[in-house]
Structure 1
Amino acid sequence: MTRTDTARPLHLLNTSGHRVGLALFLVVVVAHWAEHLVQAAQIYILNWPIPEALGLLGLPFPWLVTSEWMHYGYALVMLVGLFLLLPGFTGRARTWWKISLGIQVWHHFEHLLLLVQALAGANLGGGAAPTSLVQLLIPRVELHLLYNALVFAPMVVAMLLHRSPSDAERPAMACGCADRDRVEERG
Structure 2
Amino acid sequence: MTVQTVSHGRLAALNTRHHKAALTVYLMVVIAHWAEHVFQAAQVYALGWSLEEARGLLGVPFPWLVSSEWLHYGYALLMLIGLFMLRPGFVGRARLWWDVSLGIQIWHHLEHLLLLIQALTGNNLLGRPAPTSLLQLVVPRLELHLFYNALVFAPMVVAMILHRRPRSGERALMRCACATASG
Global fold match (TM > 0.5):
yes
Secondary structure of the structure 2 residue equivalent to 1:46: coil
1:4 deviation in Å?
Answer: 1.9
1:165 deviation in Å?
Answer: 0.2
Q: Does 1:13 align with 2:10?
A: no
User: In structure 1, how many angstroms separate the alpha carbons of the residues matched to 2:97 and 2:21?
Assistant: 20
User: In structure 1, how many angstroms separate the alpha carbons of the residues matched to 2:3 and 2:10?
Assistant: 13
The unaligned stretches of length 5 or more in structure 2 are none
Indicate the RMSD between aligned Cα atoms, in angstroms.
0.7
1:3 deviation in Å?
Answer: 2.9
TM-score (norm 2): 0.98
List per-residue Cα deviations over 1:148-185 (Å, max 9, x = no partner).
000000000000000000011111000000012x15xx
Secondary structure of the structure 2 residue equivalent to 1:177: coil
TM-score (norm 1): 0.96
Shift >6 Å, 4+ stretches: none
List per-residue Cα deviations over 1:11-61 (Å, max 9, x = no partner).
000000000000000000000011001000000000000111000110010
AA aligned to 1:125 is: L
Q: Which residue of 1 aligns with 2:145?
A: 144
1:2 deviation in Å?
Answer: 4.5
List per-residue Cα deviations over 1:73-117 (Å, max 9, x = no partner).
000000000000000000000000000000000000000000000
The equivalences for 1:28-177 within 5 A come to: 28-177=29-178
Secondary structure of the structure 2 residue equivalent to 1:169: helix
Q: Which residue of 1 aligns with 2:180?
A: 179
AA aligned to 1:10 is: L
The equivalences for 1:18-29 within 5 A come to: 18-29=19-30
User: In structure 2, how many angstroms separate the alpha carbons of the residues matched to 1:31 and 1:40?
Assistant: 14
The unaligned stretches of length 5 or more in structure 1 are none
Identity %: 64
1:5 deviation in Å?
Answer: 1.8
User: In structure 2, how many angstroms separate the alpha carbons of the residues matched to 1:40 and 1:107?
Assistant: 19
User: In structure 1, how many angstroms separate the alpha carbons of the residues matched to 2:3 and 2:105?
Assistant: 31
